[in-house]
Amino acid sequence: MIRKATTQDLDQLTNLFDQYAVFYKNPSNYEKHYAYLKERLENNEATIFVASDETNKDKLIGFVLIYVTFSSLALNRILILNDIFVDSSARKKGIGEKLIQQTVEFAKELGAQDIRLRTAKNNTVAQGLYHKMGFVREDFLYSYDLAVK
């Protein structure tokens, strides 16, 4: 089952988020991740959908974290699918696909015309899912980051 996360989900959501951070070679830091997610939810700065286990509805097994922003050229809202993660015990069961489908429905509700995401070049499993779901890898534009110190 996929549903919108609330602050009551923070403990389990933070555990999943912490696993996600470690997957991307960031340090585990439950307290920091909890505070970050709590702030996003309480300030309505992100929308998070969570997936629960079919046999135990109280157990969260995945999430997708989405930011709504705008495209100046498209003159419309776009969604940034910033983070998606499924617990290793629940993979290969279509959970990631369901989380993306929920994101698409959310985009339609908002009238957003595009969903954007980035992933690691070596994350071929996720790339396979994104291609399967209809995402097209952009080869025209480069992505740049600037670390602000």
Domains assigned to the chain = 2-118 (3.40.630.30)
Residue 145's pLDDT band, with cuts at 50, 70 and 90, is: confident
Mean pLDDT within 137-147: 86
Rg (CA), the chain: 15
Is the pLDDT reported for residue 7 higher than 90? yes
pTM, two decimals, is 0.93
Is the pLDDT reported for residue 57 higher than 90? no
Please report how the helices 95-110 and 124-132 are oriented relative to each other, as an axis angle in degrees rounded to 10: 50
> Which segments of 6-146 does DSSP mark as H helices, in order?
10-23, 30-42, 95-110, 124-132
Query: Does the CA dihedral 112-34-43-50 come out positive or negative?
Result: positive
